[in-house]
Amino acid sequence: MNQFHDFNLKLLVIEELMYGPEPLLPVYDLSARLAERGISDPASYALENGLHTEVLAEPRAHFASLEIPAELLARVEELCFDAGADVFRHCAPAWDGEDGLFDVRSLDDLALLPNLREVTFVEDGVLAVPDAAEILAARGIETD
């Protein structure tokens, strides 16, 4: 099974496979999980408990342990480095997008995505890798 070194890059792959137009992984719904515990508003819960600047423990554990089969990784052709990704809302429901909580700091895991052909939001999103455009271009990956 694959092993991601950059948790935030893994989250963007999960975004594509779980929350994309045709989900290929079972959807993780933080709101539903918290509702089971009587919590109706995830963002308020995070704010009231001082958790607004971090990934909540439950989704972190879920996504960190989620194994993504190689055949699904091979289906990822595009990644969007947008700070507005749905997966981030399920991780940190009160995150304001103003800090580096979800910044991707390494592209070493690109080898896990053999058919990745395009990435978007390279300049304006959560990609914080020096020389990212050059690294992507060297792999034949188009950028916006």
Q: What does pLDDT average to in each consecutive run of 10 residues of the chain (144 residues)?
A: 90 97 96 97 96 96 97 97 95 94 97 97 90 94 92
Domain residue extents for the chain: 7-143
| Cα–Cα distance list, 136 to 62, 97, 111, 117, 125 (Å) | 29, 24, 11, 9, 15
Instruction: Name the nearest CA neighbour of 102 among 78, 85, 121, 118.
Output: 85
Note the pLDDT of residue 1: 59
User: What is the rounded distance in angstroms from the CA atom of residue 92 to the CA atom of residue 38?
Assistant: 18
pTM above 0.75, yes or no: yes
Note the pLDDT of residue 98: 87
The kind and range of the H/E element at 118 are: strand 118-120
The kind and range of the H/E element at 87 are: helix 86-91
- Measure CA of the first residue to CA of the last residue in the chain; give whole Å: 31
- Return the C-alpha torsion angle 97, 85, 112, 7, nearest 10: 40
